[in-house]
Amino acid sequence: PDDAGLRIGDVRPARAIEACAAVRDELSRSLALNVRGGALNDLGRVDEARAAYQASIDAAVAALRPDAADVRASVNLGVLNMDAGALDAAEAIYLDLQTRNALDGTGLGLLNMSDLARGRADVPAARERLRRAIVLLDKSKSQYYRATQYLVETLLAFETSDTGAAATALRRAEAAVKASGTGTIDWNLILTKARMQFAGDRRAALTLLAPAMKAEGLTALVQGVLTYMTARALLADGQRDAALAVRATNAADPRWPLYDEVRLHARLLDAELATTPAERTAAQAGLEALREKLRADGFTAARWEAELGLAALASAGGASATARALATSTAREATAAGFARIAGLARALAAR
């Protein structure tokens, strides 16, 4: 499949799916099914992608070469579960990878477990897993692994407000992405930069988001996050009609409910657009439902974002005591966890 140019990151996923169906021997079939899973995931067909990754793992085992193929599919299946909010399922996969002798798979698994710990707001675990991954992957010459490592470092440093470390890691990630020439990592770089720019200055983020939205071959997750980030940035820039148009165009897209991060931006957009009591009530219900799902999934960092959205919504509706209580609680939790960025936002909201 790689020789045919049908790796994950191919901008013609339908062609990849068709070509992979023709492969027959088990090892090649495992590799092809992994590519198929990536192509299906790019299209937002998450359940089919999950089945393809599992079939890739099964084919590799049948070929008696799990170290050669199913490690790749296992890592991808773990990432898919993370994106869909199934953090426990993702962690089980990464823990299994650590029991193997596959250096790259174990290292990648640890990197993704570090990112998973960040999502759960467990900074010590995130740092320890990152440290262990770096030790393992230091023996690898792959720029793909280097880029993944630096992107994980970037977001962890960013959330803990270590701006110098975040900037350094991001520069290193950009260099490694350029050297790797791998589409998937390129998308992750785009998404990482968008997250950081949006969190810092939404209006300024439009200069990054506009060209990013035009990039070819973006995965469904990246498309969804960038779409709703763009709408929220447009609203911050005073372009309400444009933000409403983005929401109207994308509201019925069946892919977006599959990803927690996309749903979070969509619900926060609803809250920011709400101007009437009825709109605020509807937006509150949507955010509260998502907050409880994120709580159940253990996705703590995203839950805090939802709670800040609820606090801002309460403040806009005149419920200042409710807003202050929500923001103060979030600030206390985030501070204890070492999430300085969110803690700072919460304290500012509580002081209004």
Per-residue pLDDT reduced to its tens digit, 296-325 = 989 999 999 999 999 999 999 999 999 999
Q: How would residue 66 be classed by pLDDT, with cut points 50, 70 and 90?
A: low
**In this structure, what token pair is assigned to residue 77?**
């299946």
Per-residue pLDDT reduced to its tens digit, 69-120 = 567 788 888 888 888 888 888 888 888 777 765 556 678 788 888 999 999 9
Q: What percent of the chain has pLDDT over 90?
A: 52
**Does residue 272 register a pLDDT over 60?**
yes
The H helix count followed by the E strand count for the chain is: 18, 0
Q: How would residue 7 be classed by pLDDT, with cut points 50, 70 and 90?
A: very low
| CA distance linking residue 41 with residue 49, whole number of Å | 5
Phi and psi torsions of 260, nearest 5°: -60, -40
- Please report, for residues 77, 114, 188, 210, the alpha-carbon distance to residue 149 in angstroms, rounded to integers and kept in the order given: 18, 10, 12, 27
First to last CA, the chain: 56
pTM of the full structure: 0.84
Which residue from 134, 177, 136, 178 is spatially nearest to 153, judged by alpha carbons? Answer: 134
**Does residue 10 register a pLDDT over 60?**
no
For all residues of the chain together, what is the average pLDDT? 86
Per-residue pLDDT reduced to its tens digit, 189-242 = 899 999 999 998 999 999 999 888 887 778 888 899 999 999 999 999 999 999
| CA distance linking residue 231 with residue 202, whole number of Å | 10
Contacts of 268 (CB under 8 A, 6+ apart): 228, 232, 287, 305, 306, 309
SS3 121: coil
Q: Among 124-128, 173-177, 271-275, 321-325, where is mean pLDDT lowest?
A: 173-177
Counting every residue written for the chain, the total comes to: 352
Tell me, what's the pLDDT at 14?
Answer: 52
Q: Among 88-97, 175-184, 270-279, 311-320, where is mean pLDDT lowest?
A: 175-184
SS3 300: helix
Tell me, what's the pLDDT at 75?
Answer: 82
**Torsion, CA 174, CA 176, CA 181, CA 185, rounded to 10:** -70
Q: How would residue 346 be classed by pLDDT, with cut points 50, 70 and 90?
A: very high
Q: Confirm if 115 and 158 have CB atoms less than 8 A apart.
A: no
The Cβ of residue 30 has, within 10 Å, a number of other Cβ atoms equal to 26
- Please report, for residues 319, 331, 343, the alpha-carbon distance to residue 350 in angstroms, rounded to integers and kept in the order given: 12, 8, 10
Which residue is listed with tokens 């798979």?
105
- Report DSSP state, residue 1: -
Tell me, what's the pLDDT at 40?
Answer: 86
| CA distance linking residue 352 with residue 348, whole number of Å | 7
Q: Give the up-direction half-sphere exposure of residue 265: CA atoms within 13 A in the CB hemisphere.
A: 29
State mean pLDDT over 115-143.
89
State mean pLDDT over 141-169.
92
Tell me, what's the pLDDT at 87?
Answer: 86
Per-residue pLDDT reduced to its tens digit, 23-44 = 556 677 787 888 888 888 878 8
